[in-house]
């Protein structure tokens, strides 16, 4: 796995879609540090589907390696991608220093990258390379996320979904299907798994928090800064305003998540679903409530420890492998009154995964930490469509009778194969699982391996 990165070649133009780095990957691996498998300088333009690191993380390396074209994305994606890239410079730099290698990219590469960014809104057709036009649609995955349809001068079109959302989302409009392409490359991260329904996962979160507050200790929620944190704040705000939870202090203790939440507030009226827009008009911010404190500075963060009694701390990193959450875990996990609530995917080997698996101690910030806390693992908070959501997307897209082939990509091989099999069996369409580095020729009536 290297992160999302697709090259589309038309008769005359070349467009890249995404340039990501796999989250939690070994950053010094050859396939991340090594040269791209195409002539970077010959690419005319790049389109970014959304701001997650596994879609955007190698963009400054591409620019460093000589990519000079424009980089297109929706306006919210621009704001979020700039935050994520700036944040990653620090993380990658630290990692490189620790291993005694040169960083993947540096601040000047990031600055150059930012000068090449142009915004393109949903539903606007634009020629961005010789003979090649692009068209973006909402995918309901995170704020600003888009699928990309690319059309050549003879009308042949291919679409790439980026990541497809777990619709219905409490915040974002449902994904839009893509019926006007000859072939689709679609994500398949949860291609073989199901999420519990939204109402069920909200009830479980509320009950878990009630129990945790009754235990009287600190409640730690490690959360990914982008989308997951905002979902948590939104649900907490709903619980408190409906008086379903006792009023206890909540700390958002992550500079990145605080900045990302500001971007969500900036764009809420334009890119959120309609009923949330009405809620915002009535209540002001849907992410804030009277006893939420955003602790941007280190000093404010240190002060959290002085607050006695039950309190909630939301901080990154989402898999407990860095960031401020590590500090709080080291402080509170040895205390049996603490509850750790996991709301995100935990990669094998990550501290979060080991805690779910019942480890009696984990290594955090270089020290072994005893776990006496209660660990609660909640499912269904993923921003990805599950296997039925993905199949529904494929079905809606095939309903236009134009799409003839669906490639399943960006997932574990087993998930890609499972989704492809179901698209073939249930929808009667041709589904292909491409290999990394393969090239396919897409025509109006056929696709062929090159
Ligand atoms: Zn994503």
Query: What are the structure tokens assigned to 118, written together?
Result: 């142009």
What torsion, rounded to 10 degrees, do the Cα atoms 155, 43, 50, 118 define? -90
Quick one: pLDDT at residue 284? 81
Overall average pLDDT of the 245-270 stretch: 95
Three-class SS state of 340: strand
Low-confidence winner among 117-126, 147-156, 431-440 (lowest mean pLDDT): 431-440
* Distance in Å, CA 253 to ligand 1 centroid: 23
Quick one: pLDDT at residue 272? 94
Could you read off the pLDDT of 110-138 as tens digits, one per residue? 999 999 999 999 999 999 999 999 999 99
* Distance in Å, CA 70 to ligand 1 centroid: 22
pLDDT over 70, % of the chain: 98
* Distance in Å, CA 216 to ligand 1 centroid: 35
Tokens 């992410």 locate to: 287
* Distance in Å, CA 113 to ligand 1 centroid: 20
* Distance in Å, CA 213 to ligand 1 centroid: 32
d(C-alpha 89, C-alpha 103), whole Å: 8
* Distance in Å, CA 226 to ligand 1 centroid: 9
Name, of 48-62, 272-286, 312-326, the range with top average pLDDT. Answer: 48-62
What mean pLDDT value characterizes the chain?
A: 94
* Distance in Å, CA 272 to ligand 1 centroid: 17
Which residues sit opposite 93 in a β-bridge?
A: none
d(C-alpha 272, C-alpha 172), whole Å: 5
Find, among 312, 309, 315, 321, the residue nearest to 296 by Cα.
Answer: 315
**Is residue 26's pLDDT more than 70?**
no
* Distance in Å, CA 334 to ligand 1 centroid: 33
* Distance in Å, CA 305 to ligand 1 centroid: 33
d(C-alpha 194, C-alpha 185), whole Å: 21
Inter-residue contact 426 to 388 (CB < 8 Å): no
* Distance in Å, CA 155 to ligand 1 centroid: 29
* Distance in Å, CA 83 to ligand 1 centroid: 15
Q: Which residues contact 320 (CB under 8 A, 6 or more apart)?
A: 222, 326, 329, 350, 351, 352, 355, 362, 364
d(C-alpha 326, C-alpha 365), whole Å: 7
* Distance in Å, CA 104 to ligand 1 centroid: 21
Quick one: pLDDT at residue 2? 59
Quick one: pLDDT at residue 95? 79
Strands 440-442 and 430-432: unpaired
* Distance in Å, CA 259 to ligand 1 centroid: 18
Query: What are the structure tokens assigned to 140, written together?
Result: 């309901």
First-to-last alpha carbon distance for the chain, in angstroms, is 22
What distance lies between CA 242 and its chain's CA centroid?
Answer: 29
* Distance in Å, CA 100 to ligand 1 centroid: 30
Instruction: For ligand 1, an ion, list residues with CB under 5 A.
Output: 52, 163
User: Helix, strand, coil % (nearest 5) of the chain?
Assistant: 35, 20, 45
Inter-residue contact 203 to 211 (CB < 8 Å): no
d(C-alpha 155, C-alpha 444), whole Å: 8
* Distance in Å, CA 217 to ligand 1 centroid: 33
Could you read off the pLDDT of 365-415 as tens digits, one per residue? 788 999 999 999 999 999 999 999 999 999 999 999 999 999 999 888 999
* Distance in Å, CA 24 to ligand 1 centroid: 14
Inter-residue contact 442 to 220 (CB < 8 Å): no
Query: What are the structure tokens assigned to 237, written together?
Result: 């705000």
Quick one: pLDDT at residue 100? 87
* Distance in Å, CA 141 to ligand 1 centroid: 7
Task: Please name the helix (run of DSSP H) or strand (run of DSSP E) that holds residue 160, with its range, or none.
Answer: strand 157-160
Quick one: pLDDT at residue 23? 62
Cis peptide before 412 (omega within 30 of 0): no
The 3 state secondary structure assigned to 418-441 is HHHHHHHHHHCCEEECCCCCCCEE
pLDDT band at 30 (very low <50, low <70, confident <90, very high): low
Query: What are the structure tokens assigned to 97, written together?
Result: 């220093």
* Distance in Å, CA 450 to ligand 1 centroid: 29
* CA distances in angstroms from 442 to 11, 273, 416, listed in the order given: 12, 35, 20
* Distance in Å, CA 337 to ligand 1 centroid: 34
Overall average pLDDT of the 289-293 stretch: 94
Inter-residue contact 300 to 173 (CB < 8 Å): no
* Distance in Å, CA 387 to ligand 1 centroid: 16
Three-class SS state of 132: strand
* Distance in Å, CA 25 to ligand 1 centroid: 16
**Is residue 86's pLDDT more than 50?**
yes
Low-confidence winner among 174-188, 265-279, 303-317 (lowest mean pLDDT): 265-279
**Is residue 25's pLDDT more than 50?**
no
Residue 141's CB is within 10 A of a number of other CB atoms, namely 28
**Is residue 29's pLDDT more than 70?**
no
Overall average pLDDT of the 13-32 stretch: 77
């Amino acid at each position: 796995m290297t992160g999302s990165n697709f090259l589309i070649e038309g008769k005359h133009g070349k467009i890249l879609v995404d340039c990501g780095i796999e989250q939690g990957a070994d950053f010094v691996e050859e396939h991340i540090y090594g040269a791209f498998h195409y002539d970077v300088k010959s690419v005319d333009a790049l389109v970014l589907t959304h701001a997650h690191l596994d879609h955007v993380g190698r963009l400054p390396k591409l620019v460093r390696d000589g990519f000079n074209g424009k980089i297109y994305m929706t306006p919210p994606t621009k704001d979020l991608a700039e935050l994520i890239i700036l944040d990653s410079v620090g993380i990658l730099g630290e990692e490189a220093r620790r291993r005694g290698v040169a960083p993947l990219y540096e601040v000047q590469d990031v600055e150059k990258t930012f000068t090449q960014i142009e915004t393109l809104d949903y539903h606007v057709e634009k020629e961005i390379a010789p003979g090649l036009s692009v068209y973006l649609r909402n995918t309901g995955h995170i704020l600003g996320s888009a699928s990309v349809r690319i059309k050549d001068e003879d009308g042949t079109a291919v679409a790439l979904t980026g990541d497809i959302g777990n619709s219905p989302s409490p915040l974002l409009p449902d994904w839009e299907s893509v019926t006007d392409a000859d072939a689709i490359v679609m994500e398949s991260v949860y291609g073989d798994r199901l999420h519990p329904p939204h109402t069920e996962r909200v009830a479980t979160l509320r009950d878990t928090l009630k129990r945790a507050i009754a235990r009287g200790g600190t409640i730690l929620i490690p959360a990914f800064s982008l989308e997951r944190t905002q979902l948590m704040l939104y649900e907490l705000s709903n619980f408190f305003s409906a008086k379903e939870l006792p009023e206890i202090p909540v700390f958002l203790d992550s500079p990145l998540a605080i900045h990302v939440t500001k971007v969500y507030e900036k764009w809420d009226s334009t890119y959120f679903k309609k009923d949330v827009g009405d809620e915002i008009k009535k209540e002001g911010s849907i992410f804030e409530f009277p006893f939420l404190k955003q602790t941007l500075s280190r000093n404010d963060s240190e002060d959290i420890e002085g607050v006695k009694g039950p309190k909630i701390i939301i901080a990154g990193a989402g898999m407990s492998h860095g960031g401020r959450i590590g500090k709080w875990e080291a402080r509170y996990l040895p205390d049996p009154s603490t509850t750790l609530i996991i709301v995100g995917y935990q990669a094998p080997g990550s501290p979060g995964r080991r805690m779910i698996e019942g480890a009696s101690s984990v290594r955090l910030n270089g020290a072994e930490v005893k776990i006496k806390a209660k660990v609660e693992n909640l499912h269904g908070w993923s921003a990805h469509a599950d296997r039925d959501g993905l199949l529904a997307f494929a079905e809606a897209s095939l309903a236009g009778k134009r799409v003839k082939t669906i490639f399943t990509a960006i997932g574990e091989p087993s998930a890609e194969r499972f989704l492809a099999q179901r698209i073939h069996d249930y929808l009667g369409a041709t589904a292909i699982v491409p290999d990394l580095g393969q090239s396919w020729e897409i025509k109006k009536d056929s696709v062929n391996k090159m």
